[in-house]
Amino acid sequence: MSTYSIFDAYLAQNYKDISEGKEIICEVLSLDEGVTKIVKARIASTEQGLKDADELLVKRDTGEWKSEKWFIKISEELDPDETVLAIAPISATSSGYGAAK
């Protein structure tokens, strides 16, 4: 199992699609490799329904780690030069998703 991290703004911005089990395009940091990747993935707050999922840690924009753990199943790594990534504004808040705030 690999470990990735993601900013909570991505979860907040895509929460509807995530809660519906849809794939999203997002930027994650592979903590095992130490590199940032743009991926197409399904994300869930539990492992249920994501066979062979990797652990996903969530970081606030302030740099603090949230206590909650999520899970990610990456289906494709995308070329950053060919991918337009919708980025949440810096002021985006993460209220309204997840169990722990």
Q: 72: burial class by Cβ within 10 Å (0-12, 13-18, 19+)?
A: buried
pLDDT bracket for residue 78 (50, 70, 90): very high
Does 14 reside within a domain? Answer: yes
Q: Which residue matches tokens 């909570």?
A: 8
Does 71 reside within a domain? Answer: yes
Does 12 reside within a domain? Answer: yes
**pLDDT, tens only, 17-50:** 999 999 999 999 999 999 999 999 999 988 887 8
Domain that holds residue 7: 3-78
Are 8 and 60 in contact by the 8 Å Cβ rule? The answer is yes
Does 32 reside within a domain? Answer: yes
Does 94 reside within a domain? Answer: no
Does 37 reside within a domain? Answer: yes
Does 87 reside within a domain? Answer: no
Number of compact structural domains in the chain = 1
Rg (CA), the chain: 13
Does 65 reside within a domain? Answer: yes
